[in-house]
Structure 1
C-alpha cells in the first residue's frame, strides 16, 4: 500500500501525462450574456445607420424630384397659356395656328429669367416653331447660345458621387421615378429627338404626358415636361420645357456627405468601443484562461488570479472570484486527499505490523497450543480490524461523489426520527439504552439526501449507545431556528466529552472510546464521515456537553444544522 507521498507522486505523474492530451487553454463555450448583446449592438450600429441613411436618401431624392417636376409642369402650363393667347393667328379654314414671328420673342421673354431651362415649341405636325436657345444674331445669322456648364462640386463631391453610385448598385431599389442614363450615342443635346417628342405628346386623349428624366454623359440631371398649347379648346402645338435639376443633385449630395460623415463617426466609435470591450472583456478573460492554465500545470495555488480582476466589481470579477474559490477548494481537496492517504497508510500499517509480529512469533512457538491460539486470535482480530478500516475508508471516499450526483429532497425529519426510534425499540436488547423521540413540531422538513442523513443519524445513535449506561436514555429532537435552519440533536446520558476534545472527535481516525471496550473495534472514521456528509449537504455539525444547574456533566449532545425545506 503506498503512502501519502507515493500517492501524491502518482497523482502528479498522472496530471503530467494528461497534459499532453488536453488543450493548453479551456475550450470556448457558447453563452448568452450582456457582453454578447453589447458586442452585437456595437457591431450592428454602423450598418443600421448606413441602411437608414440610404433609405432616407432615396425618399428625400424622390421628394425633391416630385417637387421639381410639379414646379416645372406649372411653369410649362403658364408658358403654354401665354403662347396660346398671344402667338396664335387665324389660319386657313379659320383654324388657329402658331405664328413663328409672335412665338419666338414671347418664348425668349418667358425663359429669360431661368438660365437653366430651355423651352421648345412644336407645331401640330411635329415641326419645331421656336427654341429659346436658338436666336437670330447680327446680320440675320442664327446663333445657338451656350448652355450653362454642369455643376462641378470638386474632387470630394465627385468621390462621394462615385462611392454612392457603386454602393447603390448593390443595394435593393426602393422604387421611385425612373432615370434614363444617356450614353455617347445619344449626344449632349438637352432635348429628346423628334420621335421622343411625339412619344411625349401622347395620343391627345387628355391624359397628362409623363415627364422625361435622364442623366447625360457629363453628369447633368435633366427633366423635361410636355404641355399642349391650346386656343379656344383646340390644340395648336406642344411646348417642351427642360430644366437642369442641379439643385436636386446638390441637395442629395449634401445629404450624402452628411451620411458619410455620420458613417465615419460611427466607424470611429465602433473602433474605440471595440478596443474598449477588448480591454475590459476579452483581455481579462484571456488573463483568466492563462491563470487557469497555470493552476492546472501546478505553477500556482491560491493567488494565481490577478488581484485587479478580483476588484473590478462586474461579471468578470464574479468569474475571477469563482475561479479563485474553485482553485482554493481544489487545492484544499488535494491537500485533504494527500493527508487522507498518509493517514490511511499509517492506520493500515498498524494491524499489518501486528499480524507480521504474530506470524513471526508463531513460527518460533513449538508445542504450546495456548500460545498458538492466542496468536491466531490476534491475527483474526487484526483481519477484522483491517476489513472494518477498509470498509470505512471506501465509504469516506465515496461520500462527496455520491452526494454531488444526488439532488437534495425534502425530508420529514420528525417522521424520520420517529421511525429510527421505533426501529431501535423493536431491535433493542434487554438492558440496552432506550432511544426515544421528543415532542416536535409536526411536518418539519429539511433539504437532504435520505440515505446519507439516515447514515449520519445511525452513526450518532450508535456512538451515543456505546457511551450511555445500561437502560440509559438517548433522546432525538428537532426544532426550527430563527434563521430558517433546522437543528437535529442526539443527546445521551454518558460521561460526556472532554472539554478540549469537542472538535477533535470529528478528526479522521480519532477515537475516544469508553473504558472496558476492546481496542480496534472502531476505525475512528464514523464521526469524520458524518461531518463530511453534513457539510456536503450545506449544513454543520457540532458536539457539546449537557450540564445541570451545578455545572455537572449530564451527557453529550451532537447537533446537526440543515437548511429548512
Structure 2
C-alpha cells in the first residue's frame, strides 16, 4: 500500500471569505438607486471597488487640474482687464490734471480774468506726457478744435520722455517664444468674445468726430473700447480740462494696442502652459493606471502561461491580495485554482500508482495460479487452483469497479446540483432499509428508532433535535452513511450496538456513528481515509473490500464543505470500547 496525496477541493467559500470585506455597499434597502446599480453594474455584489476608486480618482485629478487652471485664468483675465481700465482711468486723470496745472494761461477780457489753453505749452506738455506714457494724447480747446497731437509733435520734433524706466532685459528662450507664437496662433483661430466697433482713427481736427470728446464736454469721464484693422483692442478715454471750475478744453487719451495684445498673449501663453501641464499630468496618471492595472495583469498572465507550460508551481504566481481590489482578487483565485490543479495532478499521479500496485497483487496471484496449472496432475490440486483463479478474477472485477466509481466521483460531484436535504428523514429511511418491510415506519414522527442487522442493534437518536436541513446531494450523503454503517457492522460483534447520534452545535449538525468493536489503531486514525487502505477483521475473507469506501466518504463530505474524522471511544480506565466516526455538516439557513 502506498500513501496518496489527499486533495483539498477548491470551494467558493474559500475565496468568498477573503473577498467579503472588499466591496463597498451602498445600503441594505433596495431602492431606486440600487435597482439602477443592479441594472447597469450587473448586480449588487460589485459596486464601488478599490479599482473603481483608482480610476475615478485619476480622472478627477485631471479634471480638477484643468478646472483650477480655468479658474485661475478666468480670474487673471478679469483682473487684467480691470487693472487696464483702472490704469487708463488714472492716466487720463493725471494727464488732465497736468495740463490743467502746466498749460493754462490767463488774460483779462472786459475786466474779467479768463483761463485758456496756451498753444505752445499744450503742445510741449502733451508731447512730453505722450512720450512718457507711450500713448497718444489729443487736446481740444473750447472751440472744439484740436490744438495738439502728441504723436505728430513727437515724430516731428523728436521729443524725449520726462523719465524712462529701465527694465532688465529678460532672456527669451527660443522654446518659450515658440510657445507664445503657438498660443497666439491658437487664439487667432477662436472667435472674439464680443464684437467691438471699428476704431475710426485720428482723421479730423474737429471734436465732434470723437464720441469720447463729445461726452467729456458734459464734465464726465468717458472710456471706450474699439478694435483696429487687426482685430486688436484699443482703449480711448476723454476728460475735460478744468481751471477754476471752468472747462478750458478736453484731453483725449488713446491706448497702445500692442500693450493690450501683449498682455492677452501672456494670458493665452499661461493657458497653453496649464494645458501642457495638465496634459503631462494626464500622461503620468495614464502611465500610473497602466502600472496598477496592465502591469499586474501582465504578470498574472505570464505566470499563468508558465504554469500551463509546466515551468512554475502554484506558489510562484504573484500574490497581490494586499491590493484589496479586483486584481488582488484575481491573483487569489488564480493561486487557488492553480493550487487545486497541481494537487489534482499530484492526486491523479498517486492514484495511478496506487491502482497499479493494487491491481498488480491479484494479477501476480492469478499468473502464479495459471502457471501452476501446467504442472499439477491431481484433480484436487487443479480444483484448488481454479478456485484461486476465480477468486482473483472476482477480486479484480470488484477492484476495477470500485476504482471506476472512485475516479468518476470528483467529476460527478462537480456537476451534481445540491438540494435541501431533510437529514432526519434521510437517516430514518436509511435505518428502515435494515428492517423488514412490516417493521418500517415514518421516521419523521419519532426522534428515536432502532433496527436489528446480523445480530447487531442499530440505534438512531436525534436527542430531541428539530427538523434539520443541509444543502447537498441526498444520494451521496446516503452513500456515506451506508459505507460507515457497513464498516461498523463488519467489525461489531454479535449482540452489540451501533449508535447514530445527531446533535446541533451553533450552525452545524454533528452526526456520530459509534460501534462496540475493537476500535482503530491510534496511528491509523488518519490513514484509514486514504485510498486502498484495508484493515479487515480476521473472520472476513481476504479481498472482499477494495479499501476505497472511507476514501470515497471523505471526498463526498469534503465536497459538501463538511468534516469527517475517526476516533476511538474510550472508557474511564482508558480502554478502547469501539470506534466512532464523526461527520459535521453546515445547516442550511
CA pair 215-491 structure 1, distance change in 2 beyond 3 A: farther
Shift of 1:470: 4.0
The CA distance in 2 between the partners of 1:126 and 1:408, in whole Å, is 106
Aligned to 2:484: 460
- Conserved 8 A contact 1:474-1:490: yes
Structure 1 residue 155 corresponds to structure 2 residue 169: no
Query: Which residues in structure 2 correspond to 1:73-92 (within 5 Å)?
Result: none
Partner of 1:68: 84
What's the CA shift for 1:225?
4.9
Q: Taking structure 1 as reference, are residues 333 and 56 closer, same or farther at Cα in structure 2, changes over 3 Å only? A: same
Deviation at 1:384, TM superposition (A): 4.4
The aligned runs of 1:313-462 (5 Å cut-off) are: 314=323, 327-353=338-364, 375=386, 378-379=389-390, 381-405=391-415, 411-425=421-435, 431-438=454-461, 439-446=463-470, 448-462=472-486
CA-to-partner distance for each residue in 1:353-402, whole Å, 9 max, x for gaps?
555666667788999699669837953x5554444333322332233334
Deviation at 1:337, TM superposition (A): 0.8
SS at match of 1:68: helix
User: How far apart are residue 198 of structure 1 and its match?
Assistant: 6.0
Contact 2:508/2:586 (8 A) holds in 1: yes
1:515 matched residue in structure 2: 538
**Structure 1 residue matching 2:133: 3-state secondary structure:** coil
Q: Indicate the SS of the match to 1:192.
A: coil
- Equivalent residue for 2:498, pick from 470, 474, 490: 474
- Partners of 1:213 and 1:409 lie apart in 2 by 86
SS in structure 2 of the partner of residue 155 of structure 1? coil
Residue 134 (structure 2) aligns with? 116
Residue correspondences, number: 507
Kept in 2: contact 1:479–1:486 (CA 8 A): yes
TM-score under structure 1 length normalisation = 0.66
Question: Which of 273, 279, 282 in structure 2 is aligned with 1:260?
Answer: 273
Is the 1:474–1:492 Cα contact (8 Å) retained in structure 2? yes
2:569 to 507, 526, 546: 546
Is the 1:542–1:559 contact (alpha carbons within 8 Å) kept by the matching residues of 2? yes
CA-CA distance at 1:116 after TM superposition: 3.2
- Write out per-residue CA displacement over residues 271-292 of structure 1, whole angstroms, 9 at most, x where no aligned residue: 5x88888788766665555444
Is contact 1:117–1:242 with CA below 8 Å preserved after alignment?
Answer: yes
- For residue 525 of structure 1, the aligned residue among 528, 534, 548 is 548
**How far apart, in 2, do the equivalents of 1:498 and 1:541 lie?**
17
Using the alignment, how far apart are the partners of 2:83 and 2:132 within structure 1?
17
SS of residue matched to 2:459: strand
Residue 160 of structure 1, CA deviation: 4.4
The residue correspondences of 1:297-316 to structure 2 (distance < 5 A) are 297-301=309-313, 304=316, 314=323
User: What secondary structure sits across from 1:133 in the alignment?
Assistant: helix
Q: CA deviation at 1:562?
A: 3.2
Q: Which residue of the partner structure matches residue 488 of structure 1?
A: 511
CA shift in 2, pair 1:520/1:408, >3 Å: same
- Asked whether the 8 Å contact 2:73–2:271 carries over to 1, the reply is no
| 2:201 paired residue number | 192
Partner Cα distance (2:202, 2:126) in 1:
21
Q: Using a 3 Å threshold, how does the CA distance of structure 1 residues 213 and 372 change in structure 2: closer, same or farther? A: farther
Alpha-carbon distance change, 363 to 51 in structure 1, aligned in 2, over 3 angstroms: same
Q: For the structure 1 residues 142 and 278, does the alpha-carbon distance in structure 2 shift closer, same or farther, using more than 3 Å as the test? A: closer
SS in 1 for 2:465: coil
- The alpha carbon displacement at 1:553 in A equals 3.0
SS of residue paired to 2:255: strand
The CA distance in 1 between the partners of 2:395 and 2:147, in whole Å, is: 130
Who is 2:14 aligned against?
none
Contact 2:131 2:160 in 1 (8 A): no
Aligned to 2:225: 212
SS of the equivalent of 1:458 reads helix
Check the 8 A contact 1:122/1:238 in 2, yes or no. yes
Distance 1:311 1:130, change over 3 A: closer
Provide the rounded CA distance (Å) in 1 between the counterparts of 2:238 and 2:400: 109
The change in CA–CA distance for 1:161 and 1:259 in structure 2 (over 3 A counts) is: closer
TM-superposed CA distance for 1:79, in Å, is 8.4
Q: Please provide the CA RMSD for this pair.
A: 6.0
Contact 2:117 2:141 in 1 (8 A): no
After the TM superposition, which of the residue ranges 309-318 and 490-499 deviates more from structure 2? 309-318
Match of 2:236, SS? strand
8 Å Cα contact 1:411/1:447 also seen in 2: yes
1:244 corresponds, among 251, 256, 276, to 256
C-alpha contact (below 8 Å) 1:46/1:263 kept by paired residues: no
Separation of aligned partners in 2, 1:519 and 1:282: 62
Identify the range of structure 1 (359-368 vs 114-123) with the bigger mean alpha-carbon deviation.
359-368
How big is the shift at 1:37? Answer: 5.0
Distance (Å, rounded) in 1 between the aligned partners of 2:492 and 2:505: 28
Cα shift at 1:352: 4.4
Q: Deviations over 1:119-147 (max 9, x none)?
A: 446899998664343339xxxx9658689
The offset of 1:532, in angstroms, is 2.0
